[in-house]
Amino acid sequence: MTIHTVQSGDSIYSVAREYGVPPSRIITDNLLDNPGRLAVGQDLVILFPTVTHTVRGGENLSGIAAMYGTTVQELYRNNPILGGKPAVYPGQVLNIAYDPPPLGEISLNGYAYTSIDRDVLRRTLPYLTYLSVFSYGITEDGELLPPAGDDAELVALAREYGAVPLLVLTSVTERGTFSSERAAAILSDPERRAALAQNAAAVVREKGYGGIDVDFEYIPAENAADYAAFVGEVRAAVGEGTPVFAALAPKYSADQQGLLYQGHDYAALGEAADAALLMTYEWGYTYGVPLPVSPINEVRRVIDYALTEIPPQKLFVGIPNYGYDWPLPYVRGETRAQSVGNTAAVERALERNAAIGYDETAQAPFYNYYDRPQTYADAVEHIVWFENARSADAMLRLVAEYGLTGAGVWNIMRYFPALWTIANRLYTIRK
């Protein structure tokens, strides 16, 4: 695998000649909708399969998998153009095998709302070890608030593709926002806390979930011990063999100040849960200063601290699957960034004829552009920070470098081909 960064004058055909691969492979492996136009600074993942197969009339995907001693799931991962669906056609060239992944095994967890486009979900599930369905909230009495949509279909699809569905249990209220007050009221009351743990376990059994991901945020410092105890109670309620995850705010030290951090005791939560997901994103956020979403230098600081409190085999690093577009100049309290998908960010760069740069310290791509107003005087400059193949590669390699068990992607609502292709080439994905 090679990541090629487009230079001025590059085309799909010149890049294909440079690496000795068919242009069609670059187009299909990168799912390029408009291969005739490339942005300067755009990343292309170049793959070198060791075995390919040209589909003949009458063949189907399961038969092709059997022919080569592989699985349909592996063919889905090796061929993103299939979209996680078995339909093939005569003349189609499939990537059957590659050299063995160099970095060992990885567990991948992806978060999805029940409203996720089912085509996006099917395309993504072959790469996932866990599918975390967001989310079940909580009432004042310790009852569960179900997600807005039907989660049964997501649970069934996860099972179909060999992923373990996780119920995400949050401190979100009827208003759809995290509540410090609601969390504190339940966590500080042993009876309501125990009832919530039992209620969550009952839904897991009823709906066919394979585990729970507990994500209580903005917990008051005085409830940190209560929260760790609650995660332990959830683990006891679901029973052995049903994993319980805890999502952790990205801390640099045990005594880090702030409502987001003080209620998350890394050592206690790491002991109480089977696994811990580091929410290593949102340095750049909707109302914040324009920054990369997950600057890798800051992510490393969080992992370095986490490893002093939690064994690496319990840790997942968080990877963002989105970026932000900020109008400039930034004004604190007024400027609001627009969320943008990574593929859409490249399309926007093409539309605005913007060259994509790359911050080597943060390991993150960015570019600037101007709106196209009626008059020049009304032009507004923007800066976009997002993720590309190089930033995804850098984040994924942290798993092997630190000996972590895996990575958790927030979130999988938009499909980002490079992330999954690179994960598949670097690691064997646990199923």
**Residue 128 is part of a domain; what is its CATH number?**
3.20.20.80
Q: What is the pLDDT of residue 31?
A: 95
- Structurally, the chain folds into a number of domains equal to 3
Please state, in angstroms and rounded to a whole number, the distance separating the CA atoms of residues 222 and 181.
Answer: 12
Q: What is the pLDDT of residue 170?
A: 98
Answer whether residue 113 shows pLDDT above 70: yes
Confidence label for 375 from pLDDT (cuts 50, 70 and 90): low
Pair (291, 252) in one structural domain: yes
Q: What is the pLDDT of residue 414?
A: 98
Contact predicate 80/420, CB 8 Å: yes
pLDDT in tens, 163-192: 999 999 999 999 999 999 999 999 999 999
- In 10 A of CB 268, how many CB atoms? 18
Pair (263, 242) in one structural domain: yes
Pair (121, 249) in one structural domain: yes
Pair (28, 133) in one structural domain: no
Q: What is the pLDDT of residue 372?
A: 77
Q: What is the pLDDT of residue 44?
A: 98
Please state, in angstroms and rounded to a whole number, the distance separating the CA atoms of residues 356 and 4.
Answer: 13
The domain containing residue 63 runs over which residues? 2-97
Own/partner long-range contacts of 88-92 (Cβ < 8 Å, ≥24 apart)? 88/55, 88/59, 88/60, 88/61, 88/64, 89/55, 90/55, 90/56, 90/57, 90/59, 91/54, 91/55, 92/54, 92/55
By residue count, the chain amounts to: 431
pLDDT in tens, 80-103: 999 999 999 999 999 999 999 999
Q: For the residues 267-276, what does the mean pLDDT come to?
A: 98
pLDDT in tens, 36-72: 999 999 999 999 999 999 999 999 999 999 999 999 9
Q: For the residues 400-415, what does the mean pLDDT come to?
A: 98
H helix intervals, 10-140: 12-19, 23-29, 61-67, 72-78, 118-124
Please state, in angstroms and rounded to a whole number, the distance separating the CA atoms of residues 122 and 124.
Answer: 5
Longest dimension (CA), the chain: 68
CATH of the domain at 336: 3.10.50.10
Residues identified as active-site: 217
Pair (351, 341) in one structural domain: yes
Q: What is the pLDDT of residue 55?
A: 98
Give the Å distances, CA to CA, from 242 to 37, 110, 236, 268, 318: 48, 18, 10, 19, 22
Burial class of residue 68, CB neighbours in 10 A (0-12, 13-18, 19+): middle
Domain boundary, last residue among 38, 68, 97: 97
Contact predicate 316/408, CB 8 Å: yes
Pair (14, 158) in one structural domain: no
